């Protein structure tokens, strides 16, 4: 156990040092010489101070992103090796003989401990965003969102864990397949209810006040065959200075949503371009491809997880303090393996997402036909979020679900010349 904890801690520290050196000293975020002075060059639309702040903020946020993932793995290893998982399982069994009650007790203590251990990193991320004036949210409101997320995740996790361990106990070899089959309607259901049940837990949604703009957006939606009767705005200015808009949901629950920060900081033609982009996702059914891709990867991930967990359990059950693979105390091991596999798959999922975002940009250009509005909207998005125009390669591969701003503006500028 001591060896495992020691090597895990050493690996985490070595990785953290490497990422610090890479992000702050080795990565090149400069603009290619041939693009200097063009609309891609942030020096043409950002002040020297904004350039400095965007570089600092991006470096820190990227570092926090890359640290957070292995830190989560380290937490799961420590929960296993120090016997917390086994202790939670023992407490739950002593309180009730009913499986659901035991699961509810275990999941609560496990969720609470991971929340506490991860809180310093979450709080640091909040403080960094607050310092650079990206986040406008008060600490009290931020904590309210944190607690909402905690209880929402607890409820979802309780249902999932309860069902998965029933399957593990009844179908030791094929539980992963049955779990995946049940995840299909569950995933579709969550996608369907998110716009009307989950999202309003965090923000207030109301019909767009600018009726003239709403009429123009709905005209675009009609042209794109999107079944929307209203455009919604959301009061994100209470939380952030960043800009965003989206089309979410499926079927009758589809919603067109604009952040009020977007309404306040972008011109009408820029907003229409952004909406054209979001409508492109709907028209090209990217949400369905996204759900399908997630289900396919989760099938592969669950299959590999099952075999890896059994292999690890047979060789290290005493070190990891796991009673039995069918006991809920093995949950951190399941989550650890699945999380590592998800991270390993992120370059692929991000690449697919970047392709879809590129196609949505192309759709918006064809639909709106306003090249200058497209360029200026991306420039303003960059300024508002203090984003890097040309991020380091590892950041793009593992973090970027959208093309870089450099790629997006450069594509738009060349589009009339043949794309």
Q: pLDDT at position 302, please?
A: 94
What residues are annotated to the active site?
278
Query: Residue 232's closest CA among 249, 223, 224?
Result: 249
- The overall average pLDDT reported for the chain is 91
H/E segment holding residue 205: strand 205-207
Q: Where are the domains positioned within the chain?
A: 2-201+285-415
* 358 neighbors 411 (Cβ within 8 angstroms): yes
Choose the weakest-confidence range: 147-161, 200-214, 220-234.
Answer: 220-234
What average pLDDT does this structure show over 398-409? 95
Q: pLDDT at position 162, please?
A: 97
DSSP 8-state class, residue 27: -
CA distance 41 to 390: 10
pLDDT at 20 over 80: yes
Q: How confident is the model over 39-95, as pLDDT tens digits?
A: 999 999 999 999 999 999 999 999 999 999 999 999 999 999 899 999 999 999 999
CA distance 257 to 69: 30
Quickly list H helices, 171-252: 175-193, 211-223
DSSP 8-state class, residue 259: E
Q: How confident is the model over 228-287, as pLDDT tens digits?
A: 777 889 999 999 999 988 877 666 667 788 999 999 999 999 999 999 998 898 889 888
* 346 neighbors 398 (Cβ within 8 angstroms): yes
CA distance 230 to 339: 38
pTM of the model: 0.89
Strand partners, 245: 258
* 112 neighbors 146 (Cβ within 8 angstroms): no
Q: pLDDT at position 73, please?
A: 95
* 350 neighbors 397 (Cβ within 8 angstroms): yes
C-alpha distances (whole Å) from 225 to each of 3, 61, 269, 284 are 60, 38, 21, 11
Query: Residue 284's closest CA among 217, 346, 362, 230?
Result: 362
pLDDT at 416 over 90: no
pLDDT at 334 over 70: yes
Query: Residue 137's closest CA among 234, 241, 236, 239?
Result: 239
DSSP 8-state class, residue 228: -
pLDDT at 419 over 50: no
pLDDT at 209 over 50: yes
% the chain with pLDDT above 90: 74
What average pLDDT does this structure show over 195-207? 88
């Amino acid at each position: 156990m001591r060896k495992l904890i020691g090597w895990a801690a050493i690996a985490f520290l070595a990785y953290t040092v490497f990422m610090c050196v890479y992000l702050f000293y080795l990565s090149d975020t400069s603009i290619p010489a041939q693009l200097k002075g063009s609309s891609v060059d942030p020096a043409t639309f950002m002040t020297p101070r904004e350039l400095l702040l965007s570089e600092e903020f991006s470096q820190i946020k990227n570092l926090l992103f890359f640290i957070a993932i292995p830190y989560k793995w380290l937490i799961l290893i420590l929960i296993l090796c120090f016997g917390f998982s086994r202790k939670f399982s023992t407490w739950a069994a002593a309180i009730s003989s009913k499986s659901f009650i035991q699961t509810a007790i275990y999941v609560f203590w496990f969720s609470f401990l991971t929340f506490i251990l991860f809180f310093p990193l979450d709080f640091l991320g909040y403080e960094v965003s607050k310092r650079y004036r990206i986040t406008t949210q008060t600490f009290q409101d931020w904590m309210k969102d944190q607690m909402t997320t905690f209880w929402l995740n607890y409820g979802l996790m309780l249902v999932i864990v309860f069902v998965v361990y029933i399957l593990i106990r009844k179908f030791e070899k094929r539980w992963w397949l049955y779990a995946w089959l049940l995840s299909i309607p569950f995933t579709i259901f969550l996608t369907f209810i998110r716009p009307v049940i989950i999202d309003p837990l965090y923000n207030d949604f109301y019909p767009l006040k600018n009726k003239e703009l709403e009429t123009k957006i709905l005209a675009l939606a009609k042209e794109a065959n999107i079944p929307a009767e209203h455009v919604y705005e959301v009061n994100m200015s209470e939380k952030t200075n960043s800009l965003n808009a989206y089309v979410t949901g499926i079927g009758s629950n589809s919603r067109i949503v604009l952040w009020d920060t977007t309404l306040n900081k972008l011109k009408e033609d820029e907003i229409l371009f952004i909406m054209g982009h979001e409508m492109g996702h709907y028209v090209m059914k990217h949400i369905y491809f996204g759900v399908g891709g997630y289900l396919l990867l989760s099938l592969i991930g669950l299959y590999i997880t099952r075999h890896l967990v059994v292999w690890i359990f047979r060789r290290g059950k005493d070190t990891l303090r796991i009673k039995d693979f069918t006991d809920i105390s093995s949950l951190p091991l399941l989550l650890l393996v699945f999380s590592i596999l998800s991270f390993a798959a992120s370059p692929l999922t991000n690449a697919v997402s970047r392709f879809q975002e590129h196609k949505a940009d192309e759709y918006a250009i064809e639909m709106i036909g306003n090249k200058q509005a497209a360029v200026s909207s991306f420039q303003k998005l960059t300024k508002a979020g203090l984003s890097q125009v040309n991020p380091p390669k590892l950041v793009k591969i593992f973090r970027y679900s959208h093309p870089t701003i450099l790629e997006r503006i450069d594509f738009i500028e060349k589009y009339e010349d043949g794309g």
